[in-house]
Amino acid sequence: MSRIGKSPVTIPSGVEVTLNGTTVSVKGPKGTLTQEIDSCVTVTIEDNVITFSRESDAPAHRAKHGLYRSLINNMVIGVSEGYKKALEVVGVGYRATATGQLLELSLGYSHPIAIELPSEIKVSAETLKGKAPVVTLESFDKQLIGQVAAKIRSLRKPEPYKGKGVRFVGEEIRRKAGKAAGKK
């Protein structure tokens, strides 16, 4: 049996989980999320605990067992605590400014890049003297915040020679030696 699928999800206080056929809705202080669940996985809610079971040991059913448990767990954590991602903009002349839901990035191209973020995400950009600008994203939807953060990172991925680009805070970049290291 799936180790992830077997473990139950406890519902914290202030979070309301409703099951309507194959749709699970999670409502909390930060927001509301819904997820459609495949019919091969059965969800039961009793005594503030959500448990998941599957109808057979077929590989597709085993995979979905753990998947839906993780998705529901992420929803419960998101509406109660929320998620936060921080991106670092490293490079000479690279800047980031946030006004409302608009994030404007200067990443060494001939033009600044403006990104309109979804209303579920709160964005802030902080620039300290002598340090790289940091863009912080906050949301209750883990899938959405991950997708938006990956999109921002893809605008200028960190390059391996100088490390310039957009990276997650704490991300390790594998550095390469330049051409001069090969001459001898």
DSSP-based three-state secondary structure for 152: helix
What burial letters (b/e) apply to 20-32, b meaning 16+ CB within 10 Å?
Answer: eeeebebbbebee
pLDDT of residue 178: 83
Tell me if 152 sits within 8 A of 103, measured CB to CB. Answer: yes
Domain map (residue ranges) of the chain: 3-80, 83-168
Across the chain, which has 184 residues, the per-10-residue mean pLDDT values are 82 92 92 92 91 90 91 94 95 93 94 94 92 94 95 94 92 87 61
> Domain 83-168 adopts which CATH fold?
Outer Surface Protein A; domain 3 (3.90.930)
Helix axis angle for 142-154 and 59-80, nearest 10°, is 90
Asked if the domains at 3-80 and 83-168 fall in one CATH topology, the answer is: yes
Looking at residue 5, its pLDDT comes to 85
**SS3 annotation, 43-77:** EEEECCEEEEEECCCCHHHHHHHHHHHHHHHHHHH
- Give yes or no for a contact between 75 and 33, defined as CB atoms under 8 angstroms apart: yes
Helix (H, G, I), strand (E, B) or coil at 163: coil
Query: How crowded is the C-beta side of 112, counted as CA atoms within 13 Å?
Result: 13
Q: Which CATH fold would you assign to the domain 3-80?
A: Outer Surface Protein A; domain 3 (3.90.930)
CA dist 2 and 12 (Å) reads 24
Type and span of the H or E element at 178 = none
pLDDT at 4: 86
pLDDT score at 155: 94
Nearest CA to 124 out of 137, 115, 112 is that of: 137
